[in-house]
A and B are shown apart, each in its own frame.
Chain A
Amino acid sequence: MSFINYATREIQLKIVYYGCGLCGKTTNLQVIHEMLADESKGKLTSLATNQDRTLFFDFMPLVAEAIKGFSTKFQMYTVPGQVMYNLTRRLVLKGVDGVVFTADSQWDKMEENVESFNNLIENLSLQGDSIDKVPYVIQYNKMDLPSVAPVNYLEFLLNNRGVRHPSIIASAKTGEGVLETLNLVTRLVLNNFIKTQTGRSPAEKKNLVLM
């Protein structure tokens, strides 16, 4: 659930990177942190184990002038991917406005990807949300590695719900597709925000004005 502060003309939105262990969620945030100018980003904070595995979450605030007259602050989180940290994933998902599902495209990770996606659906439903109502993007990560599944197979496996969701090919390690994923999810989240606030999508509003 987004937050609007009319006094400071500020909108806060929460985006969570979700996916199985070692799929590249933290790397996405690290690359975004490197790519963006200082005025667009805050500090990247990682609550990780000694082995650099995410224990609780990574957090990074981003700011943009995305909505006229308001400063839009995006709170970017990752969840710990390891199966045993499910309770932590639920805590981080609370109040989420948009999700990036990061899939590890390597053949031997397919089962973990599906398990993680089902876990996302279940955790959203436990907090009264539905995967069909929360804007999300699927990122097929690690595409620079040799043993990866073809995109159409990944789509068949993970993007097979009634409505096909936007997906992006990426290699977070090299930076490919990372900024595109961020821009896609923020655009979806903003459109959804405006739609839920006004009852119409920005495109419908534009048509109304043109008529």
Chain B
Amino acid sequence: MAFSLVQNDVEKLDRILQELLVQSEANGCLVCDYSGYVLAQQGVDAQQDPLLISALGAGVFSASRELARLLGEDKFSAVFHQGERKSIFICAVNLDVLLVVIFTNDASVGLVKLYAGPATAAMRGVLEEVRHRELTVPVPEHTFVLNDAENVFTKR
């Protein structure tokens, strides 16, 4: 089965992300799962490519989790990469989902970490509601219909 979000879920996640951006003075943030799918994002412009940030972020975090396992740690709960101008902070929301925060060095990593905690807790609440709904409410059958085109992709 697919993991699905409806309008209401996305609005809730967006509100949490907007609040996090204001409080932490970060530039952009996104929620993605370990497969690299973007669930919601705020402030990440097309130039930064949310899909790519999500794919790489999920890869980095998964790799760090394996490193933790090799070191006998239960898990590394967060990853922080510091650049000269921009930095990135990645932390787990739950077992399947990650929060990625991008900020310039005018903001402080301490502030990002401080507000990421309550934000991830709020997101967990939203995602638990989604999980509960998926177990109890079936997807309407008429929702998905394939387009008639013979090939999905054609040469330019």
Q: Which residues of A contact B (CB under 8 A)?
A: 1-8, 11-12, 14, 32, 35-37, 40, 42-43, 45, 47, 56-57, 59, 61-62, 64-70, 72-73, 75, 77, 87-88, 91-92, 94-96, 179, 182-183, 186-187, 190-191, 193-194, 196-200, 202, 205
When the two chains form their complex, are residues A198 and B141 in contact, meaning their CB atoms are under 8 A apart?
Answer: yes
Is B2 in contact with A3, judged by CB distance below 8 angstroms? yes
CB distance from B126 to the nearest CB of A (A): 13
**Residues from chain A with Cβ under 8 Å of B2 in the complex:** 1-4, 11, 193, 196-197
Q: List 10 A-B contacts (CB under 8 A).
A: A2-B3, A7-B6, A7-B10, A45-B56, A57-B59, A68-B146, A91-B59, A95-B35, A198-B143, A199-B141
Apart from A45-B56, A68-B147, what are 13 other A-B pairs with CB-CB below 8 Å? A3-B2, A4-B2, A7-B10, A11-B2, A43-B49, A66-B146, A77-B36, A94-B34, A182-B153, A187-B152, A190-B152, A193-B2, A198-B144
| Bound form: Cα–Cα A95–B58 in Å | 12
B138 to chain A, nearest CB (A): 9
Contacts of A75 in B (CB 8 A): 35-37, 51, 55
Q: How far is the CA of A96 from the CA of B10 in the complex (A)?
A: 23
B47-83 interface bits toward A, Cβ cutoff 8 Å, 1 = contact, 0 = none: 0010110011001001100100000000000000000
Main secondary structure of the interface of A (DSSP, over half): mixed
B156 & A37 in contact (Cβ 8 Å cutoff): yes
Residues of B within 8 A of A (CB): 1-7, 9-11, 33-39, 49, 51-52, 55-56, 59, 62-63, 66, 139, 141, 143-147, 149, 151-156
- Please, how many angstroms separate the alpha-carbon atoms of A199 and B138 in the complex? 11
Q: Are B153 and A183 in contact (CB under 8 A)?
A: yes
Which residues of B sit under 8 angstroms from A196, Cβ to Cβ? 1-2
A68 to B149 CA separation, bound complex (whole angstroms): 11
| Contact A7 to B9, CB < 8 A, known contacts A66-B146, A190-B146 | yes
Beta-carbon nearest neighbor of A35 in chain B = B155
- Our pick among A6, A66, A68 for the contact of B7 (Cβ within 8 Å) is A6
Q: Determine whether the beta carbon of A43 is less than 8 Å from that of B144.
A: no
In the complex the two chains form, is B4's CB within 8 Å of A3's CB? yes
Q: Are B146 and A8 in contact (CB under 8 A)?
A: no
**Min CB gap B4→A, angstroms:** 4
- Which residues of B are found within 8 Å of A45, using beta-carbon distances? 52, 55-56
* Contact partners of B10 in chain A: CB under 8 A: 5-8
Q: Cβ of A197 and Cβ of B152 under 8 Å apart?
A: no
Indicate which residue in B1, B11, B62, B146 contacts A202 across the interface (CB closer than 8 Å). B146
CB distance from A72 to the nearest CB of B (A): 8
Complex Cα distance A206/B11, Å?
35
Q: Write out the residue numbers on chain B whose beta carbons fall within 8 Å of the beta carbon of A88.
A: 63
